[in-house]
Structure 1
Amino acid sequence: MPAPVIELSDVSRTYDEGPPALQDASLVIQPGEAVAILGPSGSGKSTMLNLIAGLDRPDTGTVTVDGTRVDQLNEAELTRLRRTKIGMIFQFFNLLDDLTVVDNIALPAQLAGMGRREAQSRALELLGNLDIKRHAKAYPGRLSGGQRQRVAVARALMNRPPLLLADEPTGALDHASGKDVGRLLNELNADGQTIVVVTHDEALAESCTHRTVRLLDGRISADTTTAARR
């Protein structure tokens, strides 16, 4: 069996004097899985995502992504990890309004050291794959929410990361656009992309993942697998 893409081992995180945001969480996600992390507000979903992405550190336990101990990295190493091993999709897109679509997508590769011409070529390839190449020269503010989220997905895939993290990817979209993003994530997983979707949207989880991890009061309360959706 290949090495896991994500491995959490007895991870806990507490903020200030409150109860644990995440407590004794252990989780293994294998290459090619599509996993939804579900739970109500305050259940620990965002904390888990932030620990996986190296945006936060556990108080106890270990966090490993694609063979790298995330909890042991310094800030510069964490930045490199996120550029090369983790693609992130956010609820509110986080695109740069003063850059064109193609420049937004190419930026992560250029920051990682890829030449501008090669980065632009890769960005245009992704735009074609996601059926939005006609918007390459447009600015994000001229696009619909669904189109902007497709641009954000392309940017997240730019450096061919082994892991794609989606944080409430349909939270800012209308129903039709949300279903479109769900189909897109399903297609990416069908092509072998490992995906973790953090959401409260049961319909999104059902449409694009085949495993559901439920959190309640900072603990994993259920971990269920269904037939993969293709």
Structure 2
Amino acid sequence: MTENHLIDLREVTKTYGSGPAVLAGIGLRVRAGEALAVLGPSGSGKSTLLNLIAGLDRPSRGSVTVGGVRVDGLTETASAKYRRSRIGMVFQFFNLLDDLTVLDNVLLPAQLAGVPRTEAAARAAELLAHLGIDRHARAFPGRLSGGERQRVAVARALMNRPPLLLADEPTGALDTASGADVRDLLRELNADGQTIVLVTHDLALAEACATRTIELVDGRIARDVAAVRR
């Protein structure tokens, strides 16, 4: 891993079948502590890029290295372990389990990783309190607002202390007030040192949270600029 670069993509191309390249020779390095916003029109390769970093997909050509790990060369078992230990993921529609309480949703990644229950419970309590949702620990997700559910999703993503948080349209399903709440949360997390890569169509989110912005057009990086936070 290049010094201080948490993510290192080199000449990454992704094609599906005989179709055109979804990503075409992407080179991208992200330093630890950055908050990178990935912008671009639908079909530009944003979600594909996120999936490659998460090890959910593999490049057709090129290499994907995260935290010194060649993600593109991992077996399925090793890829799952990589995501459990190194990646936190937040989705547009929360992906919470409605039949589990807020606390049990947050505990799930630790249980999958084999963390002792007492240690996991202490970590979950810390996260719920820090994110302002500890009063909802015994509630079920369906009883929460969209913004509260996304906070639960962030707590779950951070449960195993991953060095990298990936967020795919994290405000896309939220009303204006809840979206602003999540923007503030992501900004605070990055200020505390969390590395974040977020895919979004929300320019306000990118402007508020990102320290750097790239724009994908037709599978290539058309723009790469340091952001000026408001």
Match of 1:149 in 2: 150
Q: Cα deviation per residue 1:157-198 (whole Å; 9 max; x = unaligned)?
A: 000000000000001100110111011000000000000111
Match of 2:67 in 1: 66
Match of 1:105 in 2: 106
Match of 2:131 in 1: 130
Q: 84-93 or 108-117, which moves further after superposition?
A: 108-117
Residue 170 (1) aligns with residue 171 (2)? yes
Match of 2:11 in 1: 10
Residue 187 (1) aligns with residue 224 (2)? no
Q: Distance in 1 between matches of 2:61 and 2:113?
A: 31
Residue 44 (1) aligns with residue 51 (2)? no
Match of 1:222 in 2: 223
Q: Percent identity?
A: 67
Q: Distance in 1 between matches of 2:29 and 2:194?
A: 16
Q: What is the TM-score when the length of structure 1 is the normalising length?
A: 0.97
Q: Distance in 1 between matches of 2:213 and 2:227?
A: 8
Q: Cα deviation per residue 1:131-157 (whole Å; 9 max; x = unaligned)?
A: 110000000011010000000000000
Match of 1:88 in 2: 89
Match of 1:26 in 2: 27
Q: Cα deviation per residue 1:75-131 (whole Å; 9 max; x = unaligned)?
A: 000000000000000000000111110110011011101112221221111000001
Q: Distance in 1 between matches of 2:158 and 2:62?
A: 29
Q: Distance in 1 between matches of 2:216 and 2:181?
A: 26
**Contact 2:5–2:31 (Cα < 8 Å) also in 1:** yes
**Contact 1:10–1:60 (Cα < 8 Å) also in 2:** yes
Q: Distance in 2 between matches of 1:73 and 1:175?
A: 40
Q: What is the TM-score when the length of structure 2 is the normalising length?
A: 0.97
* Displacement after TM superposition at 1:9 (Å): 0.2
Listed as ranges, the gaps of 5+ residues in structure 2 are none
**Contact 1:214–1:223 (Cα < 8 Å) also in 2:** yes
Q: Distance in 1 between matches of 2:98 and 2:117?
A: 19
* Displacement after TM superposition at 1:216 (Å): 0.2
**Contact 2:207–2:227 (Cα < 8 Å) also in 1:** no
Residue 211 (1) aligns with residue 192 (2)? no
Q: Distance in 1 between matches of 2:55 and 2:227?
A: 29
**Number of equivalences:** 229
> Over the residues paired in the alignment, what is the CA RMSD in angstroms?
1.1
Task: Specify the SS of the correspondent of 2:22.
Answer: strand
